Amino acid sequence: MTETITRLFDTPALARQAAGELERVGVLREAISIIAPGPELHGRDALLAALTRAGIDPQEAQPLAEAVHRGGAVIRVNVAQDRLAEACAALDSVPFITLQPKRASYQISGTSPAADDATPPDEQAISHDRAR
């Protein structure tokens, strides 16, 4: 039986670092997916579609799409249940973002996850998020 782990990172580089840590503990590259902004995933709608195709619930996908749109990256990994603790430890070794505070900050700022005209965060907001 397999388990799926999803984590949000501030940058695609951190997500790639986490993928490397997963591979280091024996997780196969084919079991790891990184969803990050790029030419093929431009805009929230494309990001939202990619996240839901990856099996993420649409309600959870919306704030993830917003975070990725703002420069973050999502890693999704399928691991055998008996390797779950090892995979979580590998992911925990790289700084990641907890979704609940991120969702709240979008709601407080008035940002709608589906709105393409949202303003990017200022340097103070970015620094605050990274300090957590």
Best CA proximity match to 9, nearest among 26, 42, 32, 28? 32
Q: Mean pLDDT, to the nearest integer, of 70-94?
A: 94
Measured from the Cβ of residue 111, the count of other Cβ atoms closer than 10 Å reads 19
Q: Mean pLDDT, to the nearest integer, of 105-116?
A: 48
Which pLDDT score, from 0 to 100, does residue 12 have? 95
Structure tokens, 15 = 């997500």
Measured from the Cβ of residue 55, the count of other Cβ atoms closer than 10 Å reads 12
Q: Given a cut of 70, is residue 1 above it in pLDDT?
A: yes
Which pLDDT score, from 0 to 100, does residue 127 have? 46
Which pLDDT score, from 0 to 100, does residue 19 have? 97
Weakest-pLDDT range from 10-24, 34-48, 71-85, 96-110: 96-110
Domain that holds residue 73: 2-131
Domain count across the chain = 1
